[in-house]
Amino acid sequence: MGLLSRLVTCLIVAGGLAFWNLYGRDLYHAWLESMGKSVGFGEEMIGYFFVLLIAYIIAWIFTRRYEEEHAV
């Protein structure tokens, strides 16, 4: 994985985390509380896990296409 691919991966992951913190996290907390559950470490960890997983999959798709087009 080249430097540009790593940079793109970092930017996509940072964007996913920013989106999660601005929009998704409050909705997730409200959904959990509407079900009568409290928000603890495990719930936070699961939320971040799914955001990171989705962000890495998106980054993998973008960087894979780029690396295939620019392979030597």
The pLDDT tens digits of the residues spanning 2-45 come to 888 899 999 999 999 999 999 999 999 999 999 999 999 999 99
Quote the number of domains for the chain: 1
d(CA 6, CA 9): 5
Q: What are the backbone dihedrals phi and psi of residue 42, each rounded to the nearest 5 degrees, phi first? A: -65, -45
- Which residue do the tokens 């295939």 mark? 68
Residue 57 has what pLDDT?
95
- Which tens digits make up the pLDDT trace of 37-70? 999 999 999 999 999 999 999 999 988 877 777 7
pTM beyond cutoff 0.85: no
Containing structural domain, residue 45:
3-69
- Read off the pLDDT band of 72 (50, 70, 90): low
C-beta separation of 12 from 59 below 8 A? yes
